Amino acid sequence: MSFEFDGKVCIVTGGTLGIGHAVAERLLQQGASVVISSRDAAKGDEVVSSLTKAQSLPYSRLSFFRADICNPAEVRSLFAYTLERHGKCDIVVANAGFMASKSFTEELDEGTDDWMNVIQGNVIGTLLLAKLAIANWHKHKIPGVVVLSSSLSGVYPNQIPHHCVAYPVAKAALCQFVPTIAMTLDRLAKRQGLSTSPIRVTALLPGFVWTAMWNKMGRGAASDTAPSDLENRSNSAWSVLAKAVGWTPMSKIVDAYITAVTDPTTSGKCYMVMGTAGPMVPYPDPRITPTYEKALEAMVGVSGGGGSAVKGRGKARRGKGKL
């Protein structure tokens, strides 16, 4: 049975720019209602106005809630607002993220240094939103989907430029969270007599995608509007690497997010999305020794080879829970 977006309610953080904006736009086109959030209230109002007019949507289908992903109280308010406005939340696309502007080797400020904010926003705030949604779905025994925006930086060490140290660490944390929470949810589902959890969690690891972050972080010039602008102007490590890997079209990135929402077999997995073709490539499971695998099986209360939560990460995950 095909996935239906009609009647679904989605939260998209970082929904005013880049990937978040493009995902929100596609979700609306598919028939979902969307709550977008970011720190920029003026930009949020502008996006709501432009998208509702472009798609001839009623304002009930799209709204903006100002929330700083670094602020736990505001993250909680975002989720509460969604429940109050729509009565439910079916899908969370946790996309908000940012890098540090200072080198990790610089002396700390008296206050909170910006590398700490990178961890706070990209990890703590993002996982808080995921926790709020998952706890709500688990309490009411209803299905739901979380899609986390990680990065190839979370897989491959990233030292260009040096102020990116905290960013890959944060994105790597999301990659570890996904299979861990998936095993936990499957264990709880089995207690309820289900083969797998109706709550699904997936992470996507985009490669080179042209977004406003390129300008904000100083890799591109303010006048750059396309990858070719950066490549023609600079022979930096970033531009050389981007040429080698290839820029992924935004449409392909959005396709991956829609697949993550609609395809149950993606749950518990992380997918790299890179290159001009933008294929979804599963991030390989770590090498797990037989002893460790048996320990994990015992811990999650799973018996039998095919039903292993560990082995299941490399296979299609099927179950009764359908959104």
pTM (2 decimals)? 0.81
Domain assignments of the chain as residue spans, ordered by start: 9-209+248-314
pLDDT tens profile 92-121 = 999 988 776 666 666 666 656 777 888 999
Running DSSP on this structure, what letter comes out for residue 268? T
Q: What share of the chain is helix, strand, coil (3-state, %, to 5)?
A: 50, 15, 40
Give CATH superfamily name and number for 9-209+248-314: NAD(P)-binding Rossmann-like Domain (3.40.50.720)
Tokens of 186: 């499957």
Distance of alpha carbon 168 from alpha carbon 173, whole angstroms:
9
Distance of alpha carbon 180 from alpha carbon 233, whole angstroms:
43
What confidence tier does 282 reach under pLDDT thresholds 50, 70, 90? Answer: confident
Tokens of 248: 């992924």
What's the pLDDT score for residue 214?
58
Reported for 293-300, long-range contacts at CB under 8 A and 24+ positions apart, including other chains, are 296/183, 300/183, 300/184, 300/186, 300/187
pLDDT tens profile 10-53 = 999 999 999 999 999 999 999 999 999 999 999 999 999 999 99
What's the pLDDT score for residue 209?
81
What's the pLDDT score for residue 4?
86
Tokens of 242: 């981007």
What confidence tier does 159 reach under pLDDT thresholds 50, 70, 90? Answer: low
